[in-house]
Amino acid sequence: MQLSADPSAASRGEVGPPAPAVAGRAGSTRGGAGRAQSGRLRRAGLGVAGVVGVIALLELVVRTGLLPQAWFPPPSEIFPAFGRLVADGKLFGPVGQTLQGWVLGILAAAVVALPLGIAIGSIELAHRLTRFLLEFLRPIPPVALIPAAVLIFGSNLDMKVFLIAFGTFWPILLQTVYGIHDTDPTLRDTARSYGLPRHARLVRIVLPSALPYIATGLRIASAIGLILAITAEIVVGTPGIGVRISDAQSAGDAQDVMYAWILAAGLLGWLLNGGLQAVERRVLHWHTSFREGAR
């Protein structure tokens, strides 16, 4: 189609040159999406190559005797043992028991830590009064509380939930306090000058600014909670992945099964962290930090 050279065509809406510009922008968008997709595939490929390389190295190290096979079976024996756990359905019950304690413990911690962190971060006097107490209690290892927890709750799910809740309470609380406290003061002052009430400033400005911190605290708590769940199961014998690791180790001739359960624990932690990261990207896609990371 030939474009009109009539100067008056612009007034009649017949000018056509913008079309190539639109096409150029569309092509640029497609090119950017293609490059981003290529980058993701490249990163995924490098990750898979790294995992395969480590597995091959472990196989070589064990087969050549650098690691004693009696203590560390090669991956070629661990993966079939893991496959048998999956095929026989023996994997899912203990995984569900570990996840049950993990979920309940983190929920209990979040229910207390989030509102408390918002209050401490929002009120400067409360932040100053509690700073020493938080720094004193935070370094206490949750594992050190196992004897007391067993005396109070017994060797059951309640003990495991208490241990996980205590250990995951601190990263959620501290990240919430940091996020609330780190809100841009210019935004606070601007909202105050426009007459926004305190609760409106909290909901519209402070909490959205603190959400990435809170999400980071939940991801840290996820890893800590899984470690504490499996530790409690190994030490105390509450049902879950940990007690299966302990049982396989006690059997003596089931080293491949023991490492298969350890592999299950590692895969579970990887899946939980990946799931939380995916939710974080989906929920916080509007936040500046995620937009800058996407570019």
- The CATH class given to the 76-294 domain equals mainly alpha
pLDDT in tens, 59-107: 888 888 888 877 888 888 899 999 999 999 999 999 999 999 999 999 9
Residue 82 CB partners (closer than 8 Å, separation 6+): 91, 260, 263, 264
Give me the pLDDT at residue 15, please. Answer: 47
- The span from the CA of 25 to the CA of 8, in Å, is 27
pLDDT one-digit tens code per residue, 181-216: 888 778 777 777 777 777 778 888 888 888 999 999
For residues 111-127, one letter each, b for 16 or more C-beta atoms within 10 angstroms of the residue's C-beta and e for the rest, the string is eebbebbbebbbeeeeb
- The pLDDT score that the predictor gives to residue 45 is 80
pLDDT digits (tens, 9 = 90+) for 148-158: 999 998 888 99
Cα–Cα dist 27/13, whole Å: 25
Model-wide pTM > 0.85: no
> What is the spatial distance between Cα 213 and Cα 207, in angstroms, rounded to a whole number?
10
pLDDT confidence tier of residue 129, bands split at 50, 70 and 90: confident
Domain edges within the chain:
16-63, 76-294
What is the rounded distance in angstroms from the CA atom of residue 183 to the CA atom of residue 207? 9
Tokens, residue 61: 């190290």
Q: Which amino acid is at 179?
A: G
76 φ/ψ angles, rounded to the nearest 5 degrees: -65, -15
Q: Round to whole Å and give the CA distance between 267 and 78.
A: 14
**Cβ–Cβ < 8 Å for 106, 168:** yes
Distances (CA, A) of 213 to 33, 35, 169, 253, 265: 28, 29, 14, 46, 26
Instruction: Tell me what the pLDDT averaged over the chain comes to.
Output: 82
The residue whose two tokens read 């409106």 is 200
pLDDT recorded at residue 224: 95
* Among 122, 94, 281, residue whose Cα is nearest residue 201: 122
CA atoms within 13 A on the CB side of 106: 22
